[in-house]
A and B are shown apart, each in its own frame.
Chain A
C-alpha cells in the first residue's frame, strides 16, 4: 500500500502537476491531496491497469460540503466538489485514465470494506485499484492511500 500525508495549501505558485488537471487552484482538499500524492507515486504507472477502481472516502464529501456552506453557499467552484465521487475525475485527468468506478461508503469501516471488496473482485479475476482517505487530519495533513489488488 502507498500512503502519503499531504497538507492542503493553495499557494500563488502552481504545483509541478498543475498542467495535468483543470483549475488546480480550485481543487478541494481531497482532490488536491490525491494529486500531490500521485505526483510522488511515480511507480504507479507500473501497476497493471485496473478493471475497476474502488473509491473509499470515510467521510464521503463532508469536508467539501462544509466548505461550500461556510463560504456562503454561492460558489459553483466549491459546489462541484460536493459529491463523493468527484475526486475520481480529477485523478483520471491526472493519470489520463478511464475505468469503472464504484464510490463506496460504510461509515468508519469504509476503507476496510473497500479493501475486502477488492479482494473478492481480485478472486473473480479483476485487477482492482483502491483509493482511500479519512477526513481526519494527522499533523494538519490529510492522509491518502492507494493499493492495487491483482487476480
Chain B
C-alpha cells in the first residue's frame, strides 16, 4: 500500500512533525494522572469546550484530514474527487465510550456501538467522495495493524481505489480505572525494555492515513506488508515464548532486512519480555539482523491503545522522510535478560540510512501483528 498522506495528533502536538520533534527532544509528553501514574493527553485547544468523546474524535478526524488534504498533489485530489472508490476504516479499542457509560443505568444492550457515529458524521461532511465501504475495526491495541491488514485485503481484491484509515483512542475514567484495576499503570512513568520497568503510561492519539494500492500515486512511503495472528493464550498476556508475534512477523513479505524496529514496548514486564523473544526468534530465522536497533514511542507519547500502531507508523514515516532516529530516552538500564539492541538513552544512533522499518504490535485477546514500512523514493 502507498501512503499518500498522513497526520498524527498526539500528546506531542497537532502534527506528525511535532510528534517526531518530541521523540527527538527526549522528554516524555506526560503529566501526573489524578488517579496515579502518568498520562500523555492531547493538549486541548479549540476542543476545550467540547463535552463528548464523539465531538473530540470528530474534531481530530476533521483536523487530520484538513492537514492532509492540502498536501496532496492535484493528480491525487482530482482522482479522489472524480468518483474513485473510497473506504473508511476506524481503528479503535474503546476510548470513545465515556459519554454514556457512567450515567446510563441500563445494561448497555440498547446503546449504539461506539464507532459508527464518528464515521457517519465524517462521511456526511465529506459527502462528495464516493464512499463505498465504512466500518469500525477493534482488535485491542493492535487495532491499527489489523485495520491496515483489512485495507490491504480490500486493495488486493481490487474493491477500492483509496482508503482512509483513522485510528484514535482517548483516555477517560473508564480506561484509566480499568488499567489501574489491572495494576498495569506504572506509578513512576514508562521505561520500555528497562531493567526496572514496572508498567505503562496511558496516552491519547488520533491519526489519519490516506492509502492507495501499491504503485498507485506513490509518494515515497510504502507499507509493503501487514500481518496479524490471533491465538488463545491468556486473555491479557501474550505467549511468553513470543511465538504468536514471531509467527506474524515471520509471515511478513520477504526482501531486504529492516534497518530499524519500532517495538510495541508497553513497559510492562510480560509484554516486553514476549516481544524480545519474538524478535530474537525472528533474528534466529534470518528475518532480522540481531544488531538492528530497536526503538519505541510509548515512553514519550504514552500507550495510545488502538491508535498506538498509528503513532508508531507516523513516527516511522517521519524517520524515513527526515532520516532522524530517536532513542528510548526514559530507559537507562536495559533488562539484562533481554537480547536485542535497544536504543537506550546512552546508545549511539544508527549511522547508515534508514530505508525499511519493522513495526510490531501486541494486544489483549492474543492478537499479535507486524508491518513493514519502506522508503521508495
Contacts and interface: CB of A to CB of B under 8 A. Distances in A.
Interface of A: 22, 53, 58-63, 65-70, 73-76, 79-86, 88-107, 110, 113, 120-121, 123-124, 135-137
Contacts of B136: 60, 104-106
14 contacts: A66-B104, A74-B181, A75-B181, A84-B94, A85-B140, A85-B365, A86-B140, A100-B149, A101-B367, A102-B146, A105-B136, A106-B116, A106-B136, A124-B156
Contacts of A120: 157, 159
Q: A interface, by DSSP: helix, strand, loop or mixed?
A: mixed
A128 B371 CA distance: 23
B232 A62 contact: no
B364 A83 contact: yes
Nearest to A83: B140
Interface in B193-234: 227-234
B153 interface: yes
B94 A60 contact: yes
A92 B93 CA distance: 20
Interface string B93-120: 1100100011010111111111110000
Interface residues of B, number: 56
Contact of B138 (A83, A96, A98, A113): A83
B139 interface: yes
B366 interface: yes
Given A63-B107, A79-B178, A100 B229 contact: yes
Given A85-B367, A89-B365, A101-B367, A135 B108 contact: yes
B113 A105 contact: yes
A88 B107 CA distance: 22
Contact of A121 (B106, B153, B233): B153
